[in-house]
Copies of this chain bind each other. A is one copy, B any other.
């Protein structure tokens, strides 16, 4: 459990209100129908996210609160995602078959939990609250993770729909930033990253997931990283050069997926008569050559890097290079919900935080001395440490409060419905 001794109950209660409200805001522009469907097993319906995040507080906090009565005892099973320690789970791939509870019932469930949480946070005796304050804090970070997942999942629901619906037409667009003289047309530049023994991992002093620690020494050799993300223009050259038809560029498992799924471009790209467009949360629009490529899998990122005579960075290289960067950029609150072209500037790195999660060449494995959280929350991160790759830096769908330079996101190598992109290394 993360050490965070200074937590003030009042402040936590206020934060609780803010974070929980943000989830509902994300779902607000959706129609009821959009909150229900599941377009592939990886995607969860929006109403499931709204329910499951409430389930988290109910299960891990409120069930220990004296006098709490669950709204519906069946939700314990229905909205358990993967906690075997809690009990059996409704099958993940069938979440989209459940019309009930409906959106209104789920919102009522949220209100039920929220009222109980506020009461508990503000009124329960100290000896009851204290042992669970940090679990409540985990719950808020958990909620923020699901805010990002809700964005990427509803994007899949809308952007795979043949009617090409618009989520919001008032999102901040690339056109706005383009006036600021993007550096992107310029040649890709690399900056040196010094070699040596460094420390990586969470240094303490705030919340972090268990998988970010312990802080430990790593040895990296000197290398250089691209100063900005790979652009759609660069990726188009890869496609034009037969990128999706040349097995020698691909990992073997990746090539199998390319053939089985018939991949010929990133997810949500559409080609007609030689012109490329993109489905975005603002609807279908022409692709811009200066915007970062997004919705590529690890396999595609790796094949692109191979084609470009480069490679993907290790997570230790990335974290070492990122040291001291401010947590700012095109994050959820920027309200673009899409990566933006790099703005001109003097800074060493562009787009390091926000825009897209950057695939690294590091498998998602425990840090030396890793200890999972104790109890049932030990299932949160540790049990997924196989068959996944680490991504770094947050995306345009990550809440600002949520991201850290030590943050280790992870997905399987064929996943591409997340906001994922490429920073080259060599």
Contacts and interface: CB of A to CB of B under 8 A. Distances in A.
A21 to B, nearest CB: 23
A82 interface: yes
A204 interface: no
A326 interface: no
A14 to B, nearest CB: 33
Most buried by B among A96, A97, A253: A97
A348 interface: no
B163 A74 contact: yes
A22 to B, nearest CB: 22
Given A100-B163, A162-B90, A217-B221, A365 B368 contact: no
Interface in A346-391: 361-363, 365-366, 368-369, 378-379, 383-387
A158 B101 CA distance: 11
A255 B85 CA distance: 13
Q: How many copies does the complex hold?
A: 4
Interface in A181-195: none
Contact of A248 (B34, B84, B160): B84
A251 interface: yes
Interface stretch (A36-44, A260-268, A396-404, A416-424): A36-44
B251 A384 contact: yes
A97 B384 contact: no
A218 B158 CA distance: 47
A248 B379 contact: yes
A45 to B, nearest CB: 9
Contacts of A379: 248
Contacts of A101: 163
Contacts of A31: 99-100, 102
Contacts of A203: none
A252 B99 contact: no
B386 A33 contact: no
A103 to B, nearest CB: 7
A368 B221 contact: yes
Nearest to A253: B386
A160 B255 contact: no
A250 B103 contact: no
A74 B162 contact: yes
Given A252-B383, A386-B251, A386-B253, A98 B36 contact: no
A78 interface: yes
A213 interface: no
Contact of A384 (B32, B40, B217, B252): B252
Contact of A85 (B99, B160, B248, B386): B248
Nearest to A31: B102
A100 B33 contact: yes
Most buried by B among A78, A99, A385: A99
Contacts of A384: 251-253
A161 interface: yes
A298 B34 CA distance: 37
Interface in A63-108: 72, 74, 77-78, 82, 84-85, 90, 96-103
Contacts of A97: 37-40, 96, 157, 160
Contact of A96 (B96, B254, B361): B96
A2 interface: no
A369 B161 CA distance: 44
Given A84-B247, A363-B363, A102 B33 contact: yes
5 contacts: A33-B35, A39-B97, A82-B252, A218-B219, A387-B387
Q: What are the 5 A-B residue pairs with the smallest beta carbon separation, nearest first?
A: A363-B363, A219-B219, A84-B247, A33-B99, A32-B32
Given A74-B162, A100-B158, A252-B383, 17 more contacts: A31-B102, A32-B32, A33-B36, A33-B100, A34-B99, A78-B162, A84-B255, A97-B157, A98-B162, A216-B221, A248-B379, A251-B383, A251-B384, A253-B387, A298-B386, A361-B365, A387-B413
